[in-house]
């Protein structure tokens, strides 16, 4: 990952050293990711929690309930990028994108003793992207399309406390393993998007970006090399990052040519 970041940095600095317009932008907004296997594991937790709530509610001397986990679908993304315009309508692009989504629940059953259920998961994804932008329209509003590819690196921090009250009437199967950890992994993927920009000052524009990404991390591993098995069913979870983002931000353009002026 460090090597890829170094290559990206060299590309960006090399572009800056060339004569021509360089544009820097920053944006952010809501985003989604499929995370199919992770959300399937969350469904396992929720099924067990719902079963415990319903069963323990009719047992005398036991009180308390635990909320279910929200699916990990909607999060927030931040993006910073640079574009080197090699022609009036074509730019080379490079940048970094950050995506974060989390879920958590905590509650207790109180009977002969206090039993706690405390489950949390937090996914952070960092993308290193290079590609191109093609401008289709420049008439007050600027309409452009992006195609980028790069490395997608995901980290899942998770913690599980799942205590079954002694009053529960029998053995319960499929209880996830307790513990906490951090698992990481990466893959290569593709992202495409459409952008609309409106210049409000010379070289300064407000822009909106709609993008979609395709990437799936086959598995995540901890520092010891153990693969992630969040729900304890013996099958490692992959991380599907397919999803959309809607971002609002701004860009600043500089003409780096010897006779250039600020702005495009």
Q: What CA–CA distances, in Å, run from 149 to 4, 51, 225?
A: 12, 44, 27
Instruction: Give per-10-residue mean pLDDT for the chain (264 aa).
Output: 48 47 94 96 96 94 95 96 92 96 97 95 97 92 96 98 91 88 97 95 92 96 95 92 96 69 44
100, 91 in Cβ contact below 8 A? no
Per-residue confidence (pLDDT) for residue 171, from 0 to 100: 83
Give the containing element (helix H, strand E) for 68: none
Per-residue confidence (pLDDT) for residue 257, from 0 to 100: 56
Per-residue confidence (pLDDT) for residue 258, from 0 to 100: 52
Per-residue confidence (pLDDT) for residue 10, from 0 to 100: 46
Nearest to 41 by CA among 255, 231, 223: 231
Per-residue confidence (pLDDT) for residue 83, from 0 to 100: 94
Other CB atoms within a 10 A radius of the CB of residue 251 amount to: 22
212, 192 in Cβ contact below 8 A? yes
3-state helix, strand, coil in the chain (%, to 5): 15, 55, 30
Per-residue confidence (pLDDT) for residue 174, from 0 to 100: 83
Domains of the chain: 2-255 (2.40.160.20)
Using CA atoms of 141, 146, 151, 157 in order, give the dihedral in degrees to the nearest 10: 50
3-state class (DSSP) for residue 188 = strand
């Amino acid at each position: 990952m460090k090597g890829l970041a170094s290559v990206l940095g060299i590309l960006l600095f090399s572009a800056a050293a060339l004569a021509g317009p360089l544009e820097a932008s920053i944006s952010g907004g809501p985003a989604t990711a499929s995370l199919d296997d992770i959300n399937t594991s969350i469904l396992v937790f929720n099924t067990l929690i719902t079963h415990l709530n319903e069963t323990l509610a009719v047992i005398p001397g036991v009180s308390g309930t635990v909320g279910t986990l929200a699916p990990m679908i909607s999060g927030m993304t931040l993006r910073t990028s640079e574009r080197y315009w090699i022609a009036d309508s074509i730019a080379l692009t490079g940048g970094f994108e950050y995506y974060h989504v989390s879920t958590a629940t905590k509650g207790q059953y109180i009977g002969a003793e206090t039993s706690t259920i405390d489950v949390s998961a937090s996914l952070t994804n960092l993308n290193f992207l290079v590609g191109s932008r093609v401008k289709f329209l420049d008439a007050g509003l600027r309409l452009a399309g992006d195609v980028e590819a790069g490395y997608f690196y995901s980290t899942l921090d998770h913690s599980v406390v799942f205590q079954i009250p002694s009053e529960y009437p029998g053995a319960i199967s499929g209880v996830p393993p307790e513990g906490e950890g951090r698992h990481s992994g990466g893959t290569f993927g593709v992202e495409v998007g459409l952008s609309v920009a409106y210049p409000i000052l010379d070289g300064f524009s407000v822009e909106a970006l709609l993008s979609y990404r395709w990437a799936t991390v086959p598995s995540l591993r901890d520092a010891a090399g153990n693969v992630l098995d969040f729900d304890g069913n013996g099958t490692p979870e992959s991380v599907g990052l397919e999803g959309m983002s809607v971002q609002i931000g701004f860009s600043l353009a500089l003409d780096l040519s010897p006779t250039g002026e600020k702005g495009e």
